[in-house]
Amino acid sequence: MADPMRIRAQVAGDKATVRVLMSHEMETGQRKDAAGATIAAWHIQEVSAQHNGKTVMTAQWGPAVSKNPFMQFNVKGAKVGDKVTISWVDNKGDKRTDEAVVS
Amino acid sequence: MQNRREMLSHSVKVAAMLAAVGLMPGLAQAQAAAYNTPAFAAKTLAEVMKALGAAMPAESKDVTITGPDIAENGAVVPVGAATTLPGVKRLLMMVEKNPAMLAAMFNVTDAIDANISTRVKMGQSSDVYAVAMMNDGKVLFARKEIKVTLGGCGG
């Protein structure tokens, strides 16, 4: 539903640095709109990362992660041509999966 | 041939039994990831650790938290949590003065470095904690004060 994630995975020595930029409002549930009604919380809750199909990291996020979340981590033993897949699920049940090739 | 028929019906029965007991691999993975709502609603460090079933953390030089000293925009504060110690189970990022302290929780496997960066919202100047939960049950933290010139919760 949302815009695609931008994933960059680059080899540096025997690891790959993976940078992900996701597209999501990450509404905290604290803000009020012009009429004074509270805007409901809407944020990514679970994230997972796979390297060549094997899960290497999972995460749970609260609404305090910034809008259009950025995340960076290093995968050990990743080589050029390997596949990195990132998925997320938000508190409304929407989900998104994107993948990138390590370069 | 009766033998084959018996074999086949036997394997279906075994598979059904395994599924019922929860030993089928697919099911086990799906059950592991229930979202920890109480941890993300907790307001203090003690409440977060209790919701995670962990001990209170001890300060440690082996855990590092990176971030700016002064963040101009509290809505987008880059923060990194890392540890050089082996055997990390989870890395947590918390902002003390936010309405709910726990911002993010990362489950670390051996396949990645225990070094993760993201961007968090900070409502006001506050201490930010990186907490490392180790496989052996130890819990360690590092803390950094980050001043915020413009609060990030939209208030």
| pLDDT at residue A76 tops 50 | yes
Smallest CA–CA distance, residue A71 to chain B, in Å, is: 4
Domain count for chain B, please give it. 2
Q: Which residue from B minimizes the CA distance to A28? A: B153
**Which pairing describes strands B70-71 and B139-148: parallel, antiparallel, or unpaired?**
parallel
Same domain, B80 and B104: yes
- To the question of domain A6-25+41-101 being in CATH 1.10.1200.10, the answer is no
- Per-residue pLDDT of B85-122, as tens digits, reads 999 999 999 999 999 999 999 999 999 999 999 999 99
Residue B6 maps to a domain: yes
Q: What is the pTM of this model?
A: 0.85
Kindly state the helix (H) or strand (E) to which residue A100 belongs, with its residue range: strand A95-101
Chain A residues whose CB is inside 8 A of the B104 CB are: 59-62, 64-65
* Cβ–Cβ gap B113/A69 under 8 Å: no
Residue B14 maps to a domain: yes
Nearest to B45 by CA among B35, B58, B36, B26: B58
CB B107 within 8 A of CB A57: yes
A47, two tokens: 């994230």
Is A37 within 8 Å of chain B by CB? no
Same domain, B108 and B144: yes
Same domain, B71 and B19: no
Domain boundaries, chain A: 6-25+41-101
Domain of B85: which CATH number?
2.60.40.2470
Same domain, B70 and B26: no
| pLDDT at residue A75 tops 90 | yes
Residue B153 maps to a domain: no
Please report the sign of the dihedral spanned by the C-alpha atoms of residue B30, residue B115, residue B152, residue A5: negative
